[in-house]
Structure 1
Amino acid sequence: MTTGPVLFTDRLLLRLPEPQDLDSWAEMAADPETMRFLGGARGREEAWRDFALRRGAWDVRGFSMFSVIERATGAWVGRIGPWQPEGWPGTEVGWGVHPAFARRGYAHEAAFACIDFAFDLLGWDDVIHTIAPENTRSIALAERLGSRDRGPVALPPPLDDLAVHAWGQTAAEWRARRR
């Protein structure tokens, strides 16, 4: 069913979300700790709408978050990738990982590939990650990717009540570090 880009890393395959991903997507969405900084835990119906939104953004924008698949097992790991809905404060590469796959370095591996994709194939000049100041794990990942805190930004409704900072870097900064 996938009709779009497919990225490969050492351990992961990144492809468009497909219907068979929904069960794992909904499990992740229902986990309060995982979703603490991603708008809160959601039931299956809301998870389906988020899933459909991310898949549909591929048609509308030409990019969106990828479903991240563990190559060794075929298991759904999470959703990571480029993201910029209407009113977003910048061109973002964001992440969310199923709790069963947390702390394995998968978010870094996939985000790294997605930043390359955003700069090299989408032609972006800048990438941000919108992160709550108390989300220490995502801040550590952003720092490991080379991003720095640019300060508070406002998200569009219905997320406008969330306090987040934009962590980011330019394409030139990314490429200079890659050399």
Structure 2
Amino acid sequence: MKPIPTLQTERLILRPPVHTDFHAYAELMASPRARYMGGPFDGRAAWGMFCNDVAQWQLFGHGCLMIERRATGACVGEVGINHGPLFPEKELGWFVYAGHEGHGYAFEAAVELRDWAFEHLGLPNLVSYIDQDNTRSIALARRMGAMHDPDARGQDPEDLVFRHWPSPSA
């Protein structure tokens, strides 16, 4: 197994999850914001999801990374490539914790991980499964250049599927 990468952008470090990241993760998963991911979830379910995010690195060679601000060391969210029986295709997903929205962290992290996946995993494309009411994630996917793919099967039948392609310069 290859080691889990650490990626860096101008403002962020995308790093492997550690157990001390779980409290903030569980807090988000218990909040009303988790409705866009099928929640809210209790602590037991959140722990299973957190462990799944880590385990995917061993199983598939990709998974989730925590989004940390370089300037402060604060963990502000997560970005990941998900797969397995719950995901029809490899999915690029993201979230930021309360109080950290609106700073472009999800965009910056998602672009970095997307480009890493195309370069290092040789993926032809990725999808993002987005709840149709999650207007902020829909806007982010579009800002990244992803296109709505109405013919793709979603994780949930109500999800919108946005497809990401490698940039022509990649």
User: Percent of aligned pairs with the same residue?
Assistant: 34
Q: Deviations over 1:75-101 (max 9, x none)?
A: 111111211122522221111211121
Which residues of 2 match residues 109-120 of structure 1 at below 5 A?
A: 109-120=108-119
Out of 150, 160, 170, the position equivalent to 2:165 is 170
> Within 2, Cα distance between the matches of 1:87 and 1:39?
12
> Within 1, Cα distance between the matches of 2:16 and 2:71?
18
Displacement of 1:71 in angstroms is 1.4
Displacement of 1:43 in angstroms is 2.1
The residue that corresponds to 1:42 in the other structure is: 41
> Within 1, Cα distance between the matches of 2:41 and 2:18?
19
Question: SS at 2:168's partner residue?
Answer: helix
Structure 2: 5+ residue runs without aligned partners? Answer: none
> Within 2, Cα distance between the matches of 1:74 and 1:30?
24
TM-score normalised by L of structure 2: 0.91
TM-score normalised by L of structure 1: 0.86
Structure 1: 5+ residue runs without aligned partners? Answer: none
The residue that corresponds to 1:74 in the other structure is: 73
Displacement of 1:166 in angstroms is 1.1
> Within 1, Cα distance between the matches of 2:142 and 2:135?
10
Displacement of 1:141 in angstroms is 0.2
Where in structure 1 do 4 or more consecutive aligned residues deviate above 6 Å?
A: none
Does the 8 A contact of 2:130 with 2:159 survive in 1? yes
- For residues 81 and 175 of structure 1, do their structure 2 counterparts lie closer, same or farther at Cα, with a shift above 3 Å needed? farther
Q: Number of aligned residue pairs: give it.
A: 167
> Within 1, Cα distance between the matches of 2:132 and 2:36?
10
Question: SS at 2:141's partner residue?
Answer: helix
Corresponding position: 1:133 with 2:128: no
Q: What is the RMSD computed on CA atoms of the aligned residues?
A: 1.6
